[in-house]
């Protein structure tokens, strides 16, 4: 593959990871609860898919020395703890 195609693939993994994070917030929590043994869609997307996409994007962006893109992919890797922290902040009672 050409180098430019790999760079576009790194950006595509970042965009797909961001899209998964938006879906995990926007979709109903019980969407797959009955069909997947109680697994919720937000946990599946942010715990499994986002880190894999982030690692692939991080490797490709580090290869091309695009450090801002690597930092953004690093945030996608830690999507589950970030979302967990945000939910805890929102659900705090005063």
Question: Smallest Cα–Cα separation from 72: which of 1, 4, 21, 26?
Answer: 21
Supply the range of the domain harboring residue 29: 3-90
pTM: 0.75
Range in 8-17, 30-39, 52-61, 85-94 the model is least confident about: 30-39
For the chain, the domain total comes to 1
2-19 pLDDT, tens digit per residue, is: 667 777 888 888 898 888
Q: Which two tokens stand for residue 46?
A: 């942010």
- Comparing C-alpha atoms, which of 42, 64, 90 is closest to residue 73? 64
CA separation for the pair 93, 39 (Å, rounded) = 27
């Amino acid at each position: 593959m050409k180098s430019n195609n790999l760079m576009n693939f790194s950006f595509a993994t970042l965009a797909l990871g961001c899209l998964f994070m938006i879906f995990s917030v926007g979709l109903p929590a019980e969407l797959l609860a009955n069909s997947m043994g109680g697994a919720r869609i937000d946990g599946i997307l942010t715990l499994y898919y986002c880190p894999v996409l982030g690692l692939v994007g991080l490797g490709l962006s580090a290869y091309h020395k695009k450090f801002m893109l690597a930092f953004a992919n690093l945030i996608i890797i830690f999507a589950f703890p970030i979302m967990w922290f945000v939910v805890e902040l929102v659900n705090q009672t005063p």
